[in-house]
Amino acid sequence: MAPLVIIVGADKGGVGKTMVTRALLDYLKSAGIEHRAFDTESPEGDLKRFYPAKAKVVDFAGSDGQMQILDTLGEAVTIIDIRAGLLSPTLKTLSEIGFIDPARCTLIVLHVLGNTQTSINEVKVITDKISTARYVAIGNRINDTKFDFPAGALDVPMLNAKACEAVDAASVPFSVFVDSDASPTLRGYVSHWLRRVFQQFESAKLAQTGGT
């Protein structure tokens, strides 16, 4: 079976891409799926702040960073949090060096969409760049705007603002915060939100290492 690679990204910044990646890492851990994570916000990545022992920061724009990830694919699921605004260039590079090819790896593209039309307009741009890769749109409700995501998109609800701030200040994974000695109220908000996000990931069968 070809190694499974999941890239999380968007061409538009400010859509909560790394927040989705953080939830995905918690989901894979809860499902008992062996995984590794790469943060391409070099040199200082936000994902690394929450997962210092799990996430490795690399510069994926250069061949050295690409080799660190792509030359070491194995049985563990590889999660790549793509630097803000660089999903299209990353897909172009992967295509040019032969990694949008089922013989090399099973690739899932998690395209994070904010609730704005500008973000939604990315869908055709991104889907036009992939053929054999699996495309999963993720609508991330980062504010109270009432906006319809494309049909079939996963729908990540908005996390309570105080709870979000508390997790950010603690610099720990969502699942760790839930089991911490923080405010029971805020932990309850995070736990409920995480369960709902896990349900969305489960519906897309992201824990199936075959990528189907």
Give, as one character, the DSSP assignment of residue 133: S
Distance CA 66, CA 84 (A): 17
Q: Average pLDDT, whole number, for the chain? A: 93
pLDDT at residue 208, as a whole number: 66
Estimate to the nearest angstrom the gap between the alpha carbon of 21 and the chain centroid: 3
Distance CA 188, CA 4 (A): 33
pLDDT tens, position by position, 26-47 = 999 999 999 999 999 877 789 9
**What does the block give as tokens for 205?**
């069968």
With residues binned 3-state (H G I as helix, E B as strand, rest as coil), the percentages for the chain, rounded to 5, are 40, 20, 45
**What does the block give as tokens for 148?**
């319809």
pLDDT exceeds cutoff 60 at 145: yes
Predicted confidence band of residue 184 (pLDDT cuts 50, 70, 90): very high
